[in-house]
Chains A and B, each alone.
Chain A
């Protein structure tokens, strides 16, 4: 399972990097999204895929009955997903505005910052 997920992370990264190399603004956003999700999945897998029991203590007990999944990577990924969502939204809004400023749909034509 770990190996399968690791390969999936690799595929997501490959497509993400490929999209980043394109000159169309929309592909830039898509590439960033795929890379972000690949990273999130990578963090999750690197944290270790152990038990699939939720890390909850039953009512009245002191400790969970069986070995549970480690909650920390889940918390990390949850935080990272939220941050990634916010950044992706910002990137999408920015790209939309820059496309209105530069209608020819080409990232290489963004030359306003070169002085």
Chain B
């Protein structure tokens, strides 16, 4: 390593490896003590804290200036696997760190918890962080499989019989997505002779000039693969079959990170290895609009709180994809605005949706169910919970001054400026239906009198659950009241991505 770049007080290579080493070590360590739940909690929270810390260090370092990419083991570029971090990676790693802390804090008081929960949460985070850091196409595939293995494991150990069914459904569809991905990776190697994303950008650019159809086809395969992971229409059906099944803490982790990895990968491959290709983007625009609408319409038809929230996740992915579509916009500032809106939305939704799932978990604890017709009366019984729900729900809808307002404003402004008014219309239309479905939850769970079911309050909620939910809600409110920092970071992330995309051929280390 010739560049002794520092991140905080750490050599860059170590700083970039930390988000991978920490979950690996914590997962292994927690597995050693299956019957000591408290020790597992302590290890998990320590790991979450370290992840958050390393995420913040990487975010600060990447905001200060471009970081060198690091090849593990000191292998030369093209042979070794590159890890890299730009502001987008830093933001996503920080979000993963926040969610690690929140999920494990929320799950800490579950007395019937399986001893595999802490290790599997860490394995999922390992896959997620690996996907954010890697700059190698095949390595990205491997991290996807790691995070899927972790998430299927969580579904199975926490979800009971319904969890196993959910795992069958989501495994089948996600496996198909992985196969698309693998096939595209193999064919890309056949065409370009490398899998390093930076080298691929140069070589695929050359191939694209001669055989555009071939490279566009490969990009289409990858877009389909990531659309499965991101749950974009028409590849969304695994999500409503699995997201709402596990307990709320696990739902929160899924909602914060799983679909985001798909959108992140779309942004990455369309700005780095396949930056020359624009063919899939018009199709992605149609998928984004359909995703927004189908997600919300699915949500209003549901009668179960977590299921409504799961359908909503689909709709929100559409907003993020709409920002990605603006990569085709004519002017550079439009492209930057689109990508920045997408990045802001990623982080906003990664905080708001978990908060709502955690509220659903508290409701389930208090009333024994989240089936809306059986809920009710919580506004009177637990006004504090009603306030937490209201803040998160209004943020999801996009009411100022909460984070969702800035996120939606970004998407609306960017799509309008780029002349894609139909995406704006879909976004605003979906927003109204979002409002309807949140009002539905509000009316059923908090406002109406509770139907007489005769069963008493279930085991009370411990403090840790409230603290976890409160922490997320405070974060959303802070982002809403003081959006400037996150808006700046999103814009820097977009500028860095566009700099990658517009990198001229000769600045790369391309070698035959």
Q: For residues 292 through 329 of chain B, which have their beta carbon under 8 Å from a beta carbon of chain A?
A: 302-304, 306-307
Q: Is A104 an interface residue (CB 8 A)?
A: no
- Chain B residues with Cβ under 8 A from A40's Cβ? 182
Provide the main secondary structure of the chain A interface: helix
Chain B nearest CB, measured from A3 CB (Å): 15
Known A-B contacts A79-B142, A90-B152; A46 and B189 likewise in contact (beta carbons under 8 Å): yes
- Chain B residues with Cβ under 8 A from A47's Cβ? 186, 189-190
Contact of B187 with A46 in the complex, beta carbons under 8 Å:
yes
Complex: A28 Cα to B307 Cα, angstroms: 26
- Chain B residues with Cβ under 8 A from A115's Cβ? 244, 302-304, 306-307, 371
Chain B nearest CB, measured from A108 CB (Å): 12
Q: Is A42 an interface residue (CB 8 A)?
A: yes
> Taking CB as reference atom, which chain B residue is nearest A77?
B186
Complex: A80 Cα to B145 Cα, angstroms: 10
- Chain A residues with Cβ under 8 A from B186's Cβ? 39, 42-44, 46-47, 73, 76-77
Chain A nearest CB, measured from B173 CB (Å): 10
- Chain A residues with Cβ under 8 A from B436's Cβ? none
- Chain B residues with Cβ under 8 A from A95's Cβ? 168
- A25, A28, A43, A113: the one within 8 Å of B182 (CB): A43
Known A-B contacts A94-B156, A110-B168, A115-B244; A35 and B179 likewise in contact (beta carbons under 8 Å): yes
Provide the main secondary structure of the chain B interface: helix
- B165, B183, B302: the one within 8 Å of A98 (CB): B165
Contact of B164 with A98 in the complex, beta carbons under 8 Å:
yes
Q: Is B161 an interface residue (CB 8 A)?
A: yes
Contact of B175 with A32 in the complex, beta carbons under 8 Å:
yes
Q: Which of B142, B156, B176, B244 counts the most A-chain CB atoms under 10 A from its CB?
A: B176
Contact flags A5-36 to B (C-beta < 8 A → 1, else 0): 00000000000000010000100100010011
Q: Is A57 an interface residue (CB 8 A)?
A: no
Complex: A97 Cα to B171 Cα, angstroms: 15
Complex: A102 Cα to B35 Cα, angstroms: 31
Q: Is A56 an interface residue (CB 8 A)?
A: no
Known A-B contacts A36-B179, A39-B183; A113 and B190 likewise in contact (beta carbons under 8 Å): no
17 further interface pairs, Cβ-Cβ under 8 Å (given A39-B179, A40-B182, A83-B145): A20-B172, A32-B172, A43-B186, A46-B186, A72-B195, A77-B186, A79-B138, A87-B145, A87-B148, A91-B168, A98-B168, A110-B165, A113-B165, A113-B245, A114-B241, A115-B303, A115-B304
